[in-house]
Amino acid sequence: MGQRVHVFIAEPSPIIRNGVISVLKGISNIDIAEISDVTTLMAQISRYMPDILIVNPSYLGLFSLDMLRSKVGGAIKIIALQYTLLDEAITKQYDDVLSIYSSAEVVKEKLVGVISSSDKSIEKQGLSVREKEIVVCIVKGLTNKQIADQLCLSTHTVMTHRRNISNKLEIHSSSGLTIYAIVNKLVELDNIKSVISSDK
């Protein structure tokens, strides 16, 4: 696992939130961020696109997991933070369940397990619809700012998407992406001719 994994913890109780954070701190290669206010959850998720979200299921309220996943192109792993008995129908929608009574070792093991499975799934996955749109924009020669304006995203989100695209495809240059886009028929050469000939 090369790059850092971004973990978000959405939990209203500061005692429990900080408890979880202190247990997670022992795991290398992760960045932890906390969300205490439920109303900002969706905005924060789509802005920072964490790899893993640990969330109190009762806190999630009206947001559906599918909605959360679709916001970040399906790559996010969502772990339920359980401190009361929960209906299995609820927990099985999550990628894993953490009980607040788990020992520190179990918590770490679970998280490492989820991280490594998310590594594999990223490699196997093709690009999401959003990522394909961004590839097309890059190939057309748009800047991050222009892409953000056109797709109504923040430039930060565009950069995160670009990083994910590079990781998935292992292509790091825009001319490499041009080949990818043409081969996969995301664009026609005629649409980008002006960009290609004006390069250099």
Least distance CB 9 / another protein (angstroms): 37
Q: Which stretch in 17-25, 80-88, 140-148, 182-190 sits in contact with another protein by CB under 8 A?
A: 182-190
Between the CA of residue 80 and those of 87, 109, 153, 160, 176, what are the distances in Å?
Answer: 12, 15, 28, 25, 39
CA distance 93 to 19: 24
CA distance 30 to 114: 12
Least distance CB 143 / another protein (angstroms): 19
Task: Rank residues 25 and 193 by Cβ distance to another protein and give the closer one.
Answer: 193
CA distance 61 to 82: 14
Q: Which of 22, 91, 117, 184 binds another protein (CB under 8 A)?
A: 184
CA distance 117 to 38: 27
Residue matched to tokens 């500061």: 14
Task: Rank residues 44 and 174 by Cβ distance to another protein and give the closer one.
Answer: 174
Contact map string, positions 136 to 175, toward another protein, x by CB under 8 A:
----------------------------------xxxx-x
Query: In this structure, what DSSP letter does residue 79 have?
Result: E
Q: Which of residues 113-132 bind another protein (CB under 8 A)?
A: none
Strands 77-82 and 96-99 come out as parallel
100 scored as a contact of another protein (CB under 8 A): no
Q: Which of 179, 186, 194, 198 binds another protein (CB under 8 A)?
A: 179
Binding site for another protein (CB under 8 A): 170-173, 175-176, 178-180, 182-184, 188-189, 196, 199-200
